[in-house]
Structure 1
Amino acid sequence: MVNDTKPDWLQTVSAPHPSRQPLDRFERDCQLTMTRRSGPGGQHRNKTSTAIVLVHQPTQVSGEASESRSQAKNRSVAVQRLRLNLAVVIRCLESDEEADIELRKKHAGRSVWVAEQNPQRPAVISLVLDDMVRYQGDLQQVAKEWRTTASQLLKLLRSETPAIDYMNRLRAFYELRPLR
């Protein structure tokens, strides 16, 4: 049962979802700013601009990193954080793209766990949350779609606090109880 009623706070984009785009295409849509932030201590603290702030221009969602003294490492972390932020905040309700089908096939029927450092983690989380919208917050239906259990999907979403918060906000919209 799929109903077209959607929350008015739902932000959507057309396919492909930004968190599922190839890195080179994704980075073309981002504005990079190097800045100074408090970072690791020591004699050279704040003497160089190693903090990275990335803003995805079409959606104005941002991600940043400043914990390393290496600009390259901070950039890599900022890209992953931005992709994760996009995965949680932005929905793409047309997931018939070949890449989405392949990603779903690769992770369906398993524990659906994706390591934190895995570049596909934001893409998997975004697909699960897109399905949550498609099935009006019904985790059991989404689990069937992914050929796994609801508890496995919940474990994945719980690993990212913003993702579980988003899911519970969506469930509240559809008058379902929150999941912990």
Structure 2
Amino acid sequence: MEMEWKRADEAQADHASRVPPGQRLTAGFPVLHHGEVPYYRDMGKWDLRLFGLVEDETVISYGDFMKLPMREFGNDIHCVTTWSKLDNRWDGVPVAVIMEKVKLKPEAKFVMLHAEEGWTTNLPLEDFLRETSFLAVRHNGELLTPDHGYPVRMVVPHLYFWKSAKWLRGIEFLAADKPGFWERNGYHMYGDPWKSERYDFD
């Protein structure tokens, strides 16, 4: 019995060390978004556009995207609305695979993610290129639901989860940083959960 308590205490301590300030754990997967949820009836109309400061713009069809090499990722996610969800398992395309499709111009330093409904969010190129960043198609063994970004969502787990754009449709490479939708509406330009970078005054 004492060993069971010890293991429980150790697990609790491990969880606590993985939760940023001001966050609370959830076992669920809350749904938060702006605008309507897109429902795709014809996947032939979905594609992913890679554009901006690239030598040649590239468009990847849904069929070609699903043929790209995928792997499993594990991470914790932290929402700016104060919930955290630990031990997520995803399947998706590593950013490195996507970057094989384009050649960046040297002045490219930032990325703007474009999603359905005109939704956008920004991040530095180096954060986009991290080995932990990927384009997800499954969460915990199941295809993403429409509420959670089907067919493809960006996942950037080291930043607040609004940076992990749902319903991804475009990746634009930029020379200078500029705010996306939520950043224009008061959210932090970077969004590090360990620094509580929630709003533009943080």
Fold conserved between structures, TM > 0.5: no
Structure 1 length normalisation: TM-score?
Answer: 0.29
Which one has the bigger helix percentage?
1
- Larger RCO (CA under 8 A, 6+ residues apart): 2
TM (normalized to structure 2)? 0.27
